[in-house]
Structure 1
Amino acid sequence: MRLWSKSDILRSLNSNEPDTLGLDPMLDEASQVGEVSVDLRLGCDFLVSILTRKPFIALAGPDAERRAVETYFQFTRRDLGDRFMLYPGQTALSTTLEYVSLPTSVYADLFTRSSFNRLGIHLSTALQPGFRGAASLELVNHGNNPVELVVGSRIVQARFFELADRTPYGQGRKYYGDVRPTVSKAARDGDLLQLDEVRKSRFEH
């Protein structure tokens, strides 16, 4: 696995080949592309966590007994340059402004820029080879003060790693092609169903 340098990033961005890096829109390539990373911007859509009468979010058990994860979040939208307030302890799901297309031999790590880490905002996201979509940003304010975020600002850095083999990211994946923030789909994980069956069988015996 090899970390891409600035020349690798620019070569792939400007290539006419089909299986190359795509970031659209790139509002300012000169300021966004660094020596070993690309700064990506905060998108316009947000799903903000809210308090409900339910004591917790259930991921396992019969569907009829579980409240939909979507009901624990409220959608809101801002335009470029608008402000979005992230309060201490709050989770807000957003996306990058850019639509990301990864080559099938390239994996990417996303993490908050140091300037935002110093404000108490931390996130990390992994993008599999062949990923398509606006990258998910799971924003959490770990600090003691509300932080005012500016929509369209450079909030995360992406590093790209080239693999020896091509590994396409199939359309059957849970978050493939998303362009707006999407709540967790952990309840669809097959291992939760298996563990629920194990639990039932234990009580039956």
Structure 2
Amino acid sequence: MPRRPTIALDADGVLVDFHHGYAEAWRRAFGARPAERDPLAYWPMDRWAVERLEGEARRHFWRYFDEEFWLHLPALPGAVEACHRLHDAGFDLVCVSALDAAWQSARLRNLRALGFPIERVIATGHHAGERSPKADAIAELMPEAFVDDYLPYLRGVPDAVHRALVLRAPNGSPNEGPELVLAHTTHDDLTDFVDHWLARDAR
């Protein structure tokens, strides 16, 4: 059997709604879901009307980014259908996510429970720097395309891989400036990428 071509997909902001999870973690930690402050904010702490936490309050909040958190993130609108369109068109889908390896299994279980046709998650961990924490995994995987919503995570990804950037919420977004040249294409969401990709393959 010939190997099916692969497309690598980020999770948070591409497949699943981390912002919703953030608000739910706040509710679990402090007893009330925060009100929405800016629906167009890129970062969840700007989208929700929450205070900036320090010290023990911050540590208390981050304890709620636990297995329950990673198991119950909802799919973004249209994302499951978009993935099925890619899968039905002959692509294998792999999730490449900058989360700790401890949550890799929970992420896969979450995606499978939501109905995503994804059988593999690669957890790369997160670090800032000149090279994306995902670059080595993408170089080893060598998919036809890699889709992410965070411009710095395109750094160091091989040129042979089509780098697609989901722009999503514009307010406070890091997806701007000279480094936009790292993206071969930009898209409003995953559905927009899939429309582009499948139309390109049809030509």
Q: Which has the larger radius of gyration?
A: 1
TM score, norm. by length of structure 2: 0.26
Asked which structure has the greater RCO (Cα within 8 Å, sep 6+), the reply is 1
More strand by share: 1
More helix by share: 2
